[in-house]
Structure 1
């Protein structure tokens, strides 16, 4: 993912948590905040140490990034998203992560149907 498409600063994360809306399923929680001044979406990832060692956490983040990359044309632009992985996501393969992520994004009505 390109650098401008990532949320890295704590104040940006906190803004999405406090002002945004959230939606969830068993594997993921997604916070979404509309930003009128930007033309693209940004993604922030949060994977807790409770989910496993560094290898497991990095694998989950890679799967989420790839799923977002494949869904980027359907995602609503001008939003900031923070994706929090829950415990069941540690045992999932890529296709299950993508399916679950697209489900939670549809629940939040931020995924366009093409």
Structure 2
């Protein structure tokens, strides 16, 4: 993901927390906030120290970024997304993370309607 597609500042994180809507499954919490100006979506990732050591936390963040990179055509633009990893995410491989992220995005209704299930059926 390019730097302009990431939420970095604490002020932006707090705005998404306060004004955004949240959706969750066992592994991830998704906050979504619609932006007024036309822009590509941005993501912020939060992984607590309670989940594991730095190696584990960085692996989870890499998996989340890669999952969003593969789903970028399916995710709605003009939104800021905040992904918070929960404890079970520490034991997952990339394919499990991607399917869990897809599930929480579907629950949040932020995937484009025509894309539901397309990537899952190819394999």
Q: Give the total of aligned pairs.
A: 114
Q: Report the counterpart of residue 60 of structure 1 in structure 2.
A: 60
Runs of 4+ in 1 over 3 A off after TM superposition: none
Cα distance in structure 2, aligned partners of 1:53 and 1:38: 38
SS of residue in 2 equivalent to 1:23? strand
SS of residue in 1 equivalent to 2:22? strand
1:16-65 CA-partner distances (Å, limit 9, x unpaired): 00000000000000000000113210000000000000000000000000
Q: Scaled by the length of structure 1, what TM-score is found? A: 0.98
SS of residue in 2 equivalent to 1:76? coil
Measured after TM superposition, the shift of residue 86 of structure 1 is: 0.2
Which has the larger Rg? 2
Q: Report the counterpart of residue 13 of structure 1 in structure 2.
A: 13
Q: Report the counterpart of residue 28 of structure 1 in structure 2.
A: 28
Unaligned runs of 5+ in 1: none
Q: CA RMSD in A?
A: 0.6
